[in-house]
Amino acid sequence: MNVILSRRQAFKAMIGLGGTVTSALLPAAAHAAADSRGNSEEHPAHPIAPPDAVAMLFDSTVCTGCKACMPACNEANGLPTDTLLSGGIWDMPTGLNAKTKNIIELYQDPQSDNFAFVKKQCMHCLDPACVTGCPFGSLVKRDLGAVTWNSSLCIGCRYCEVACPFEVPQFQWENWNPKIVKCEFCYDQRLKEDMQPACTSVCPTGAVIFGKRTDLLAQAKERIAATPEKYFENRVYGEYEAGGTQVLYLSSVSFQKLGLPKLGTTSIGHYATKVTSVLYKWLAGPALVAGVFGFFIRRNWERHETERREHEKKTGFPDQL
Amino acid sequence: MKTTAPSADSRGATLINHWQCGVPVTHGPVLTPFLLLLTGLAGIGLGLAALRFFSPLGPFSAMNDVYAWGIWKTFNVMTLTALGSGPLALGIAAWVFNRQKLHVVMRTALVSGFLFYATGLIALGFDVGRPWNFYSALMPWRWNSESAMLEISICMPLYCAVFLSFEILPLILERIYYTGNERSRAFLSRIGPNIRKAYPFVIIGAYVIPLMHQSSLGGLLLLAGTKINPLWQSPVMPLLYLVAAVFCGLGFTIFLLMIVCLRYARYLDAAVLTELANLLSGVCFVFLAIRIADLIWRQQLRAAFALDKMSLLFLFESAMILAPAIALRFRRVRETPRALLNMSVLACLGGMLYRFIPTSIAYVPLRSTAYFPSTPELIMAAGYIALGSVAFVLAVNYFAVLPGEAGSWDHTFRPFGWPGKASQSSIAGPIPTAVVQERAI
């Protein structure tokens, strides 16, 4: 093959190749730089809770289903009562919804008399999928680990609802100016002022308690060690689920029966971004493709233009593009 | 395919049969009863959309907190923009891989792709709950760069409004030339060279950006994790969504060219269509190879052939893609218009199924709630599609979109006004006779 390049073409090819190589090497360099700083990845597969991370521990074997936490939550968050089912008399939600950030649900075994209560609210994951997906950073993980929503950034795309494995964020379908309703760990109302969240502060039996995540995890394990026959699988739900959550559960029945999903131990944000975070690092992937495409398009364009000019000279009329 | 004596192209590079350049449809009525019906449907759809803007989403859709994405997102955007990927697939084949035959059908692909994207974006605009906050797209410091949703919400409007529009610009500007207005012609000759200068650079963006957002549509679903059946939920979903977009774009362009040429009684061009069919078959095979390799890698092959509901769905979808992939390998099939049409439709449906299923049927969240689109939701979705169809018919009738023989151009046709001036200058202008003579050689 005999390729003749003009000086100008040779320069262009060199710039193109240089750009291609640079954009291929940049992600690696960025990766190395990140490693040297110590924070290796934005979404590690198994995130480690920061030392100040707070948590809730809910022990299903202690909960009596008094629901004291529900009005406390409504009061702290200024939520209206959901009276649809009770005919307008009292708060009676059927699940987490646009008026309910916290709910006590009952599991009843169809065969035996076994039953268990479960408290549902945001799990405040260590690496929340909703925060990873939120396009303009309306949902953020704040200090102490609370996941909160900011109305002025939300476009209402509802990706958080699709992403959340616990199906926590709720959208106000009946509101013209809809908000995302989810438990925010009472961050603005109480957590910032060194108070514990409303639900844990009113729990009369200590079924749900508030504390540092490390302390609560240790306490949960102590409870299991003390009465191992009492707890299902002798494990704490939320220790590793979806990379770990800041709400921990103990239960005598299977967690799936309580309506908690069976999840892997890998953070969902890690699963979703492990490839794209490399490809899109400093837009290197798109730049690489653009470089390669640009090279071929320029070459084919020149051929096309030469033909066009000949054609137009011959006929005297503009050619279609 | 009906072949008349092919005329050799004087430009040498391509042997052109019947499709030589874009030629507007100049005969027959534009406003047919069917078009009026579509216009009515589009009107009702847009009317409902306008109402929706003054109302919350609740009364207009059956979406709920478990199925937070209805058909506006999953069908109008995630599925139909695959059909609108013709400009991506054909453009890369024509400009990057130098398949010169395809230049002549680029305009059809571009207009249909633009309309799919535009109507999809309209659907998206009325689907999001707080569209007034979208101005954040202009503030990069607010971007959450790891979100696939961000990539889509910025790239899709950008692609449609800048890159696709720029690619279509010559098509619209060219009309000005044929109005015969001298000042317009002067304007055109001034900006024409600038467009040509920018064109090769802009089309780089026009091919890189859809590569990004078409794969991000699959990337969106990665975060849904275990909610999506493992036959579909896979780390290669972004790649598969992209490849599906490419073959859907090819298949839909074949389909569209054939039915529109049938409607307006134009000759088909065997050379161009077989080239497209070849590419379609190849990309379908690539898709299936990735799909099977992925299932083997994730050890889901047994589940794929378990013959339960999801497995049957998977087999149905794959058969729809496999059939055209195999059939179009045979020259006899490629060159039989009826078979080619059927196979391209099958490929489109298969690709659409692949892109629709993980967002709806295989999307099985924990809480048992059903979702089926409500009537206003369906009417609005149909209205957006009708709007695109009406716009396409009008484009075909008033602009040089459809490929045809250059000699068939009716130079007395003046679609946009100035009849007095136009008729004078058209007599004075040198174009008509010369073009006809040149092409007739």
Of A133, A176, A293, the CB nearest to B55: A176
Nearest-by-CA chain A residue for B9: A311
A157 with A278, same domain: the answer is: no
Cβ(B253)–Cβ(B86) below 8 Å: yes
- φ, ψ at B228 (rounded to 5°): -100, 135
Q: Does B29 touch chain A (CB under 8 A)?
A: no
- φ, ψ at A108 (rounded to 5°): -125, 130
Residue B240 in tokens: 């598969």
Residue A283 in tokens: 């837009």
Q: How far apart are CA A118 and CA A258, in angstroms?
A: 6
* pLDDT at site A14: 60
Cβ(B131)–Cβ(B125) below 8 Å: yes
Give pLDDT tens digits for B249-305: 999 999 999 999 999 988 888 889 999 999 999 999 999 999 999 999 999 999 999
A285 with A224, same domain: the answer is: no
How far A317 CA sits from the closest chain B CA (Å)? 7
* pLDDT at site A5: 58
Cβ(A187)–Cβ(A210) below 8 Å: no
* pLDDT at site A25: 53
With 0-12 CB in 10 A as exposed, 13-18 as middle and 19+ as buried, what is B235? middle
């047994």: which residue's tokens?
Answer: B302
Q: How far apart are CA A23 and CA A49, in angstroms?
A: 34
A234 with A292, same domain: the answer is: no
Nearest-by-CA chain B residue for A312: B11
Q: Is residue A27 one of the residues assigned to a domain?
A: no
Q: How far apart are CA A127 and CA B142, in angstroms?
A: 19
Of B130, B147, B199, the CB nearest to A133: B147
* Residue A221, beta-bridge partner list: none
Find the mean pLDDT for residues B347-359: 96
* Residue A56, beta-bridge partner list: A210, A247
Report B:98-117 residues touching A (Cβ under 8 A). 98, 100, 103, 107
For residue A18, what pLDDT band results from cuts at 50, 70 and 90? low
The answer to whether the CB atoms of B131 and A155 lie below 8 A apart is yes
Please name which of B112, B403, B437 lies closest in space to residue B266, comparing C-alpha atoms. B403
* pLDDT at site A7: 58
Q: Does B161 touch chain A (CB under 8 A)?
A: no
Please name which of B57, B78, B33, B80 lies closest in space to residue B384, comparing C-alpha atoms. B80
The answer to whether the CB atoms of B65 and A177 lie below 8 A apart is no
Give pLDDT tens digits for A248-285: 999 999 999 999 999 999 999 999 999 999 998 889 99
The answer to whether the CB atoms of A290 and B205 lie below 8 A apart is yes
Strand A147-149 to A139-141 pairing? antiparallel
Give B32-68 as a DSSP string: -HHHHHHHHHHHHHHHHHHHHHTS-SGGG----SSS-
Q: How far apart are CA B311 and CA A52, in angstroms?
A: 47
How far lies B438's CA from each of B83, B409, B414, in Å? 36, 13, 22
The answer to whether the CB atoms of A293 and B220 lie below 8 A apart is no
- Does residue B407 have a pLDDT over 80? no
Give pLDDT tens digits for A167-183: 999 999 999 999 999 99
Question: Which residues from A are below 8 Å from B129, CB to CB?
Answer: 154-158, 171-172, 178
A74 with A118, same domain: the answer is: yes
* pLDDT at site B347: 97
Report B:286-345 residues touching A (Cβ under 8 A). none
* pLDDT at site A6: 63
CA B311 from chain centre, in angstroms, equals: 29
- Does residue B335 have a pLDDT over 90? no
The answer to whether the CB atoms of A318 and B177 lie below 8 A apart is yes
More confident residue, A311 or B386: B386
A226 with A287, same domain: the answer is: no
Q: How far apart are CA B341 and CA A198, in angstroms?
A: 64
Cβ(A321)–Cβ(B199) below 8 Å: yes
More confident residue, B421 or A244: A244
Please name which of A282, A272, A291, A13 lies closest in space to residue B208, comparing C-alpha atoms. A291
Cβ(A54)–Cβ(A212) below 8 Å: yes
For residue B199, what pLDDT band results from cuts at 50, 70 and 90? very high
Q: Does B8 touch chain A (CB under 8 A)?
A: no
Find the mean pLDDT for residues B73-101: 95
For residue B209, what pLDDT band results from cuts at 50, 70 and 90? very high
* Residue A248, beta-bridge partner list: A57
Find the mean pLDDT for residues A73-101: 91
The answer to whether the CB atoms of A134 and B144 lie below 8 A apart is yes
Write out the residue range of the structural domain in which residue A151 sits: 54-266
Of the given ranges (A25-39, B88-102, B224-238), which has the lowest mean pLDDT? A25-39
Cα within 13 Å of Cα(B120), Cβ side: 26
Residues 6+ apart with CB under 8 A from A286: A280, B208, B211, B212
- Does residue B421 have a pLDDT over 50? no
Strand A247-250 to A54-59 pairing? parallel
- Does residue B235 have a pLDDT over 80? yes
A69 with A209, same domain: the answer is: yes
Which of A26-30, A227-231, A311-315 shows the highest mean pLDDT? A227-231
Q: Is residue A155 one of the residues assigned to a domain?
A: yes
Question: Which residues from B are below 8 Å from A269, CB to CB?
Answer: 146, 223
The answer to whether the CB atoms of A311 and B11 lie below 8 A apart is yes
Find the mean pLDDT for residues A205-227: 95
With 0-12 CB in 10 A as exposed, 13-18 as middle and 19+ as buried, what is A233? exposed
Q: Does A17 touch chain B (CB under 8 A)?
A: no
Element (H, E) at B373: none
The answer to whether the CB atoms of A159 and B203 lie below 8 A apart is no
Please name which of B436, B21, B398 lies closest in space to residue B178, comparing C-alpha atoms. B398
Cβ(B1)–Cβ(B270) below 8 Å: yes
Q: Is residue A72 one of the residues assigned to a domain?
A: yes
* pLDDT at site A236: 95
* pLDDT at site B2: 45
More confident residue, A265 or A5: A265
Please name which of B245, B321, B311 lies closest in space to residue B281, comparing C-alpha atoms. B321
A208 with A115, same domain: the answer is: yes
Q: How far apart are CA B308 and CA B305, in angstroms?
A: 8
For residue A317, what pLDDT band results from cuts at 50, 70 and 90? low
């780089």: which residue's tokens?
Answer: B204
Q: Which residue, among A103, A125, A136, A301, would best test binding to B if mutated, counting the most B CBs under 10 Å from its CB?
A: A136
* pLDDT at site A114: 86
* pLDDT at site B438: 36
* pLDDT at site A318: 66
* pLDDT at site B10: 45
Question: Which residues from B are below 8 Å from A262, CB to CB?
Answer: 226
The answer to whether the CB atoms of A136 and B21 lie below 8 A apart is no
A291 with A181, same domain: the answer is: no
Angle separating helix axes A7-37 and A284-315, nearest 10 degrees: 160
Residue A308 in tokens: 């066009």
Cβ(B249)–Cβ(B109) below 8 Å: yes
Please name which of A263, A262, A264, A260 lies closest in space to residue A107, comparing C-alpha atoms. A260
Question: Which residues from A are below 8 Å from B144, CB to CB?
Answer: 132, 134-137
Give pLDDT tens digits for B110-126: 999 999 999 999 999 99
Find the mean pLDDT for residues B34-56: 95
Q: What is the 3-state secondary structure (H, E, C) of B173-236?
A: HHHHHHHCCHHHHHHHHHHHHHHHHHHHHHHHHHHHHHHHHHHHHHHHHHCCHHHECCCCCCCC
The tally of domains found in chain A comes to: 2
Residue B345 in tokens: 């439709």
Residue B306 in tokens: 């378990």
Cβ(A271)–Cβ(A149) below 8 Å: no
Q: Does A154 touch chain B (CB under 8 A)?
A: yes
- Does residue A24 have a pLDDT over 70? no
Q: Is residue A201 one of the residues assigned to a domain?
A: yes
Q: Is residue A25 one of the residues assigned to a domain?
A: no
For residue B416, what pLDDT band results from cuts at 50, 70 and 90? low
Residue B58 in tokens: 């609740």
State the DSSP code for B93.
I
Q: Does B146 touch chain A (CB under 8 A)?
A: yes
Question: Which residues from A are below 8 Å from B431, CB to CB?
Answer: 317
Of A242, A293, A296, the CB nearest to B208: A293
- Does residue A16 have a pLDDT over 50? yes
The span from the first CA to the last CA of chain B, in angstroms, equals 23
Please name which of B10, B11, B19 lies closest in space to residue B272, comparing C-alpha atoms. B19
* pLDDT at site B434: 37
Give pLDDT tens digits for B5-37: 555 444 433 344 678 888 888 888 888 999 999
More confident residue, B371 or B424: B371
The answer to whether the CB atoms of B130 and A156 lie below 8 A apart is yes
Q: Does A301 touch chain B (CB under 8 A)?
A: yes
Cβ(B401)–Cβ(B171) below 8 Å: yes
Of the given ranges (A307-321, B60-74, B159-173, B384-398), which has the lowest mean pLDDT? A307-321
Q: Does B378 touch chain A (CB under 8 A)?
A: no
Q: What is the 3-state secondary structure (H, E, C) of chain A?
A: CCCCCCHHHHHHHHHHHHHHHHHHHHHHHHHHHHHHHCCCCCCCCCCCCCCCCEEEEEECCCCCCCCCHHHHHHHHHCCCCCCCCCCCCCCCCCCCECCECCEEEEEECCCCCCEEEEEECCCCECCCHHHHHCCCCCEEECHHHCEEECCCCCCCCCHHHHHCCCCCCEECCCCCCCCEECCCCCCCCCHHHCCCCHHHHHCCCCCEEEEEHHHHHHHHHHHHHHCHHHCHHHCCECCCHHHCECEEEECCCCCCCCCCCCCCCCCHHHHHHCCHHHHCHHHHHHHHHHHHHHHHHHHHHHHHHHHHHHHHHHHCCCCCC
Question: Which residues from A are below 8 Å from B222, CB to CB?
Answer: 271-272
A213 with A278, same domain: the answer is: no
The answer to whether the CB atoms of A158 and B129 lie below 8 A apart is yes
Mean pLDDT, chain A, as a whole number?
88
ipTM of the complex: 0.87
């089926």: which residue's tokens?
Answer: B372
Question: Which residues from A are below 8 Å from B235, CB to CB?
Answer: 271, 274-275
Of B134, B146, B216, the CB nearest to A155: B134
Q: What whole-number percentage of chain A has pLDDT above 70?
A: 86
A261 with A281, same domain: the answer is: no
